[in-house]
Chains A and B, each alone.
Chain A
């Protein structure tokens, strides 16, 4: 038994001789990190190269010629520009609407005990637990009757669905994390319930709420399936446009548009990072 083990180890040891080299083992984490970076940043890098490539033919490692002509193609296309406009109209509307609907609900979930509280909280998962396409089709039949198909508000409603989970769950946790005595102290010194909410609870919850809003915005901004079914052909947003561009145009056009599509996410994520850090700062206040 042990002899076999010994033999195996010898065989493997011969094959993976470098395993016993200390330097190799120490450099493993670095190698792993580099691999990961290549995996994530590699495609992004190639995307950027494609977006600015004038001519790029096999087998060259870099484009033979850089140019901005594909950007002209994208911005010269009316329907593409329109899609950007629609996206920048719908996503903020959805986020705002979602906040208006969900934040009071989240506060209620966090602060009040009522029958069915847990069930209702879990029910917000349901929209995310089915194949969305089936859901969208059945919603579409409903929207036909309500004359919401190919309308702005139809698109807003369908995008709203995907944001509910973020806008309920994250703020519920945020509100629950705010100690009640902070609110009671405000009541105690003379603030009404409404004033307490707007001057104490809301500002303290703000970092969490902004993060929730961010996720909601991105969810709405990236939504393609439902928007395609409900909105087209009148309301083609950027992710829906992407399908058309990828299928019907040369590769660099898709690359340019991808960058445009990534831009809001990137900006908002960087913003979120700062907000989160401030949130931690506030959380660091304890007794």
Chain B
């Protein structure tokens, strides 16, 4: 089992901890994404796995054995960097063969392996070319080939596609995913692009300020983000600050009342979160009255921004079926909401019962940010 375990990994730069008490189990053959905003410690974590940074605490296990004492050249890991991967003074073949030659393989075997790997990354004709004759995408593919040819146990990728243009990036993602499935190699992929993580990963570990926020499959991560950071970071999310009224069994935020019972204490301030696709438009008096502020056509769907009823800028995704115009009055309803309260597990409410509150004193004092 070529699993990778990170145990309470900590890395400090000066007095600040770049990575703090980070633990993660990557299963055999799994594609794990480390996702987070820049400066969250994801690249530092990857570099620690590869041996390019020394942790101040914790352990790194590959197949159950600690690799902490090994220098990068003796770890069973292979890394693909963000850029400047290929050595400009060597041809593609020499780039790929470099590691094999260090291992004193016979020339015939080297030739065969280089050929196979080039075939694998779809560039069989690039063998004699020089790095500067290749496009950015081709260079990164050769870098992947160079990493794979050594048959490492763990493949490490540090934002390998971030310097490519958007279209190519999407294609390279798919290719990498296919390749990873084909080879079955345990992979850790670092990215700040949540779309990339969602499309690529078997599981995603979301990092923030050096700390693990949540590790889950893309589906769970999107549907049930465990904290406000992940909720805000993954995809688009609407937030309403609300206060819990235990006697009425309801959350009140702005002029929106939501029937809910929970472990919150009376008067607790909670955050109600819901996805734009979980907002529906309803006819008649049901739901919460709002005004349309902005309509953006994103091709296969509309992104509508609404406000009113004491709540600011709610984003709604809707198909183009119902006509939308700026200034138009509408009623909205929520299909599903998540309730975040400090120190309490996430509460999930399907099809909550909504009421439009009329009295001013029930308006929760607005807070600048969630």
Contacts and interface: CB of A to CB of B under 8 A. Distances in A.
A182 B81 CA distance: 9
A89 to B, nearest CB: 33
B79 A190 contact: no
Contact of B163 (A184, A199, A287): A287
A204 interface: yes
A287 B139 CA distance: 8
B99 A190 contact: yes
B73 A185 contact: no
Contacts of A285: 86, 88, 130-132
Interface string B50-61: 111000000000
A190 B103 contact: yes
A108 interface: no
B104 to A, nearest CB: 11
A188 B98 contact: no
Q: How large is the interface on A (under 10, 10 to 19, 20 to 34, 35 or more residues)?
A: 20 to 34
Contacts of B77: 188
B89 interface: yes
Interface string A171-190: 00000000101101111111
Contact of B88 (A191, A192, A282): A282
Contacts of A187: 51-52, 71-73
A5 interface: no
Interface string A253-287: 00000000000000000000000000001101111
A74 to B, nearest CB: 43
A184 to B, nearest CB: 6
B352 interface: no
B81 A204 contact: no
A140 to B, nearest CB: 45
B73 A182 contact: no
A281 B81 CA distance: 22
Interface in A182-218: 182, 184-192, 195, 199-200, 203-204
Contact of A188 (B78, B83, B86, B131): B78
Contacts of B297: none
B310 interface: no
A192 B73 contact: yes
A185 B89 contact: no
B132 A181 contact: no
B81 A189 contact: no
B98 A186 contact: yes
A195 B73 CA distance: 11
Given A281-B132, A282-B89, A287-B136, A191 B84 contact: no
Interface in B171-214: none
A189 B78 contact: yes
A186 B103 CA distance: 13
A249 B262 CA distance: 109
Given A284-B132, A285-B132, A185 B87 contact: yes
A186 B150 contact: no
* Most B C-beta atoms less than 10 A away, residue of A181, A195, A284: A181
B87 A287 contact: no
B102 interface: yes
Nearest to B134: A285
A179 B81 CA distance: 11
Given A204-B88, A287-B139, A190 B81 contact: no
A135 to B, nearest CB: 40
A200 B131 CA distance: 14
Interface in B46-70: 50-52
A204 B132 CA distance: 13
A185 B85 contact: yes
Interface string B140-184: 100100110010000000000001000000000000000000000
Contacts of A204: 87-89
Given A187-B51, A187-B73, A199-B98, 19 more contacts: A181-B81, A181-B83, A181-B85, A184-B50, A184-B52, A185-B146, A186-B87, A186-B98, A188-B73, A188-B147, A189-B78, A189-B99, A190-B99, A190-B102, A191-B102, A203-B89, A204-B87, A204-B88, A287-B84
Q: Report the 10 A-B pairs with minimum CB-CB distance, sorted nearest first.
A: A189-B99, A285-B132, A179-B84, A181-B81, A287-B83, A187-B72, A285-B88, A190-B102, A203-B89, A287-B136
